[in-house]
Amino acid sequence: MVRTAAVFACITLVGIGLLHTYWAFGGHAAVVGTMPTAGGKPIFHPGRFWTLVVASGLFLMSMTVAIQMGWVLVPSLRVLSRIGVWAMAAIFTVRAIGDFRYVGFFKTVRNTRFAELDTLVYTPLCLLLAIAITIVALSGHTKTTIRMPS
User: In this predicted model, what pLDDT tens digit does every residue of 130-150 receive, in sequence order?
Assistant: 999 999 999 977 654 445 555
In a domain, residue 35? The reply is no
Q: Is the pLDDT of residue 101 over 60?
A: yes
Would you state the torsion angle of the CA atoms of residues 63, 48, 25, 38, taken in this order, to the nearest 10 degrees? Answer: 100
Q: Cite the DSSP H helix spans in the chain.
A: 2-24, 47-69, 78-97, 113-117, 123-139
Is pTM beyond 0.85 here?
yes
- The domain containing residue 98 runs over which residues? 2-29+46-139
In a domain, residue 37? The reply is no
Q: Give per-residue pLDDT as tens, 106-125.
A: 999 999 999 999 999 999 99
The residues that bridge with 41 in the sheet, in sequence order, are 38
**Residue 34: which pLDDT band, with cuts at 50, 70 and 90?**
confident
- Number of structural domains, the chain? 1
In a domain, residue 146? The reply is no
Average pLDDT of every residue of the chain: 91
Q: Cite the DSSP H helix spans in 40-99.
A: 47-69, 78-97
